Amino acid sequence: MHLSEQTAAILRDTLGVTNLADIADRSFKDLADDVGHDELAAYAARGRGSVRLATGRFFTLSELQSWAKKVVEMKLP
């Protein structure tokens, strides 16, 4: 990736690194298993990924477990 010197300088200052290649080796925060809608939407907005996550259209772990239980208990013909 090629960045202009001005863009690279802004990124280095903002991220507090002297070499942008150092970012590739940086550890990122792991999310907990049960994350709320607001927290995950904020996390998703800072990175590339699913629009569903960024707009809050997903199940949290507890919601998914209750939905799965409901589906398993459905009586089929």
Domain ranges for the chain: 1-29, 31-77
**In this predicted model, what pLDDT tens digit does every residue of 7-34 receive, in sequence order?**
888 888 888 888 887 776 667 666 666 7
DSSP for 41-73 reads HHHHHTSS--HHHHTT-S--HHHHHHHHHHHHT
Model confidence, pTM: 0.40
Which tokens in the block code for residue 48? 């590339």
- Alpha-carbon span 31 to 42, nearest angstrom: 12
C-alpha distance from residue 31 to each of 36, 43, 52, 61, 72 (Å): 10, 9, 17, 12, 28
> What is the per-residue pLDDT across 37-63, written as a single tens digit (0 to 9) for each?
777 767 766 666 667 766 767 777 888
